[in-house]
């Protein structure tokens, strides 16, 4: 009986680890050039899968930038809250708005400068829908 419990725990741990390993993570790199109008940048659409947690993770500190996940077909339709004034490295999580966040739906990461007066800059990192 004890051996079966140990095997069951091992199998459950294997499933837990494999589920985490399968979570999607994509790279992004945005270059923002003045003027502010027209500075919105976005990634290719990515499918949200079971196990994915929506986040953005800039690689380094930079000019304050706003991030939001948008729908596949309209880069001006937000699917999540907007993460504002992100200027340091580190993982930040999104929350899907009502009627969004379904699995097997495609989303894009969109970013734009927080302030209208900025110099050209580039930011890169990882994200997940």
The structural domains of the chain, with segments of one domain joined by +, span: 24-128
Whole-angstrom distance, CA of residue 68 vs CA of residue 56: 9
User: Does residue 48 carry a pLDDT above 50?
Assistant: yes
Its pTM stands at: 0.82
User: Does residue 129 carry a pLDDT above 60?
Assistant: yes
Predicted pLDDT of residue 7: 55
% of the chain surpassing 90 pLDDT = 81
Residue 62 vs residue 80, higher pLDDT: 80
Whole-angstrom distance, CA of residue 129 vs CA of residue 114: 21
Q: Work out the number of other CB atoms within 10 angstroms of the CB of residue 126.
A: 15
Whole-angstrom distance, CA of residue 31 vs CA of residue 18: 35
Convert the pLDDT of each residue in 74-98 to its tens digit.
999 999 999 999 999 999 999 999 9
Q: Which two tokens stand for residue 38?
A: 């027209």
Q: Work out the number of other CB atoms within 10 angstroms of the CB of residue 97.
A: 14
Give the confidence band of 17 by pLDDT, cuts at 50, 70, 90: very low
Predicted pLDDT of residue 18: 45
- Residue pair 81/54 in contact by the 8 Å Cβ criterion: no
Predicted pLDDT of residue 23: 79
Q: What is the CATH number of domain 24-128?
A: 2.60.120
Q: Would you give the distance in Å from CA 116 to the centre of its chain?
A: 23
Determine the length of the chain. 129
User: Does residue 40 carry a pLDDT above 50?
Assistant: yes
């Amino acid at each position: 009986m004890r051996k079966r419990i140990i095997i069951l725990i091992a199998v459950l741990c294997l499933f837990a680890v494999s589920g985490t390993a399968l979570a999607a993570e994509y790279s992004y790199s945005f270059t923002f050039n003045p003027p502010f109008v027209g500075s919105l940048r976005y990634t290719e659409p990515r499918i949200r899968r079971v196990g994915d947690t929506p986040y953005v993770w800039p690689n380094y500190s930079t000019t304050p930038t706003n991030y939001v996940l948008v729908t596949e077909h309209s880069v001006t339709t937000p699917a999540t809250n907007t993460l504002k004034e992100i200027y340091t490295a580190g993982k930040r999580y999104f929350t899907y708005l009502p009627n969004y966040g379904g699995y097997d739906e495609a989303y894009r990461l969109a970013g734009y400068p927080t302030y209208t007066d900025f110099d050209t800059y580039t930011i890169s990192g990882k994200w997940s829908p």
